[in-house]
Amino acid sequence: MEVHAHTHTARKKWTHYFWEFLMLFLAVFCGFLAEYQLEHKIEKEREKIYMNSLYQDLKSDTLNLGVLLKNTKDDIDNYDSLFNIFRSKQYLQETSGAYFFGRKLVTIRVFYPTNGTTTQLENSGGLRLIRSRAIVDSIQSYKQTISLLTSIQEFQNEHFVLARSAMGKIFDADVFDTMTGDGSKPLERPVINYPLMPFTKSELNEFHIPMNFIKRNKITQISIIKRLQTKAVDLMHLLQEKYKIKEH
């Protein structure tokens, strides 16, 4: 009978297992770091894309705010012109100015911000991508001021309803129709002195009271519009400095 000798495998030292564990740990850790760095890079790229888009939105807003500011100032001047026409009794000799300014004054102006980027940032949780606290605070402050302007503009709507209702007792709608045409051109001042409706002093007052409230409202709007312009420009400067945005 043959006797087989059993070979004994030498036991590995604990240092061998330690190094195996360490190498495995380092491999996993390095993979984690690589994934983290990649994710961080992607988020930085997304942040820059968002901020470039926000900059363009603000650029559009500043242009629209400039137009709104001019039109709002014109509205106040038009109200003063119309009020002076009635106060001085000028309408008894010449009515074209009354019709012209009266029709222009009931045009409602609303600021619609270019908010596609901020809406997307909020809905997707993208605000967390913005590393600058100053920029986040500026965005929030800008949005709050837009909300304030929107509230002020909505508040004047009830006075527009009253003013338009009172207009029917003073102005002839057929004349307004000749001024507006098909709507493709700006309002034209009548070349003929069309007669006004036979109104009383009380009926004229019913028109002037809501128009005066609208005027005061527009004076407040001018202050807010200027504040919005400043906030938009300041935020644009922050974005330019942080993300090296250049004008095209």
**Cα distance between residue 145 and residue 150, in whole Å:** 9
Q: What is the sign, positive or negative, of the torsion defined by CA atoms of 55, 59, 60, 64? A: positive
pLDDT tier for residue 205 given thresholds of 50, 70 and 90? very high
Q: Mean of the pLDDT values across residues 10-32?
A: 65
pLDDT exceeds 70 at position 2? no
What percent of the chain clears pLDDT 90, i.e. is strictly above it? 61
pLDDT tier for residue 39 given thresholds of 50, 70 and 90? low
Of 148-162, 185-199, 215-229, give the range with the top mean pLDDT.
215-229
pLDDT exceeds 80 at position 183? no
Q: How far is CA 44 from the centre of its chain?
A: 25
pLDDT exceeds 80 at position 41? no
The pLDDT of residue 35 is 60
Task: Name residues whose C-beta falls within 8 Å of residue 76's C-beta, 6 or more positions apart in sequence.
Answer: 215, 218, 219, 222
Q: Mean of the pLDDT values across residues 126-155?
A: 92
Q: Give the ranges where the chain is alpha helix by DSSP (H).
A: 14-87, 96-105, 116-123, 133-155, 157-167, 173-180, 201-243
The pLDDT of residue 1 is 47
The reported pTM is 0.81
pLDDT exceeds 70 at position 217? yes
Q: What is the sign, positive or negative, of the torsion defined by CA atoms of 122, 128, 131, 137? A: positive
pLDDT exceeds 80 at position 21? no
Nearest to residue 86, comparing CAs of 177, 211, 1? 211
Q: Would you kindly state where each structural domain of the chain is located, as residue ranges? A: 15-243
The pLDDT of residue 185 is 76
- How many of the other CB atoms lie within 10 Å of CB of 167? 19
